[in-house]
Amino acid sequence: MSLNAILRWLKPHEMIFFDLLESSVEVVHEATKYFDQEIRTNDPTRWPELRRKMKDFEHKGDEYTHKVIDRLDKSFVTPIEREDILALAHALDDVVDLLDNICERLVLYRIGLIPTPVMEISSLAVEGAGELVYLIASLRNMSDTKAIRQHIRRVHALENQADSVYHAALSELFADPKDPIALIKLKELYDHIEDATDRIEFVAKVIGSTVMRNA
């Protein structure tokens, strides 16, 4: 058993941070799945309910983030670096915030059919969030570093796919911009959904760094 593993074993009372992060990533996973499911209906009459439900996810995510911050303020010793805990909490919260922003725009901009690139990137976000469920849970003991690295590489691969879809979508969007207002609306949707996958990748990167220091 490594020294870092022994130190973590001696601090079980602070494992509440892992409980909170695991709850937070479950919110992210559920939010991405619900978002992906609803946009595939391509039914604009469902966007107001999608926005309401996503706001519920966003509030729940905020609640877990605030609990992490409150606990950090009261804790002298943490199971992993304080900066990493805070970065993970904020990045997970950001994913749901970005989905919430998209849902707001679906209603405010009166978006009808969902562009195919948004659905493609949304599917990648769902898969990436599923990978984060495993990775966040792995922080409790960090015993299988090989498996952890494999899951991190999978998240990176998903983000690369999202980047490719995003860049191709922008290229097509600007190739023949007949309606500048429509262009602005679509670009915002593309930006936000791609940013969500960026934040998912960031979580995986923080976990990778944490495991390297503590395993």
Angle, CA of 121, 124 and 125, to the nearest 5°: 90
130 vs 147: CA distance, rounded Å? 15
190-215 pLDDT, tens digit per residue, is 999 999 999 999 999 999 999 988 86
Residue type, position 215, single letter: A
Separation of alpha carbons 115 and 39, rounded Å: 10
Contact 109, 181 (CB under 8 A): no
Per-residue pLDDT, 146: 94
Could you give the CA distance from residue 12 to residue 50 in angstroms, rounded to a whole number? 39
Report d(CA 177, CA 165) in Å as an integer: 19
Give pLDDT tens digits for 26-40: 999 999 999 999 999
Q: Which tokens sit at 128?
A: 């990436």
Domains along the chain with CATH numbers = 12-214 (1.20.58.220)
pLDDT for 176: 83
pLDDT tens for the 215 residues of the chain, in order: 554 555 555 455 568 999 999 999 999 999 999 999 999 999 999 999 999 999 999 999 999 999 999 999 988 888 889 999 999 999 999 999 999 999 999 999 999 999 999 999 999 999 999 999 999 999 998 888 999 999 999 999 999 999 999 999 999 999 988 889 999 999 999 999 999 999 999 999 999 999 988 86
Output the six-digit token pair for 27. 């919110």
Which has the closest alpha carbon to 62: 30, 102, 23? 23
Is the four-CA dihedral 185, 187, 192, 193 of positive or negative sign? positive
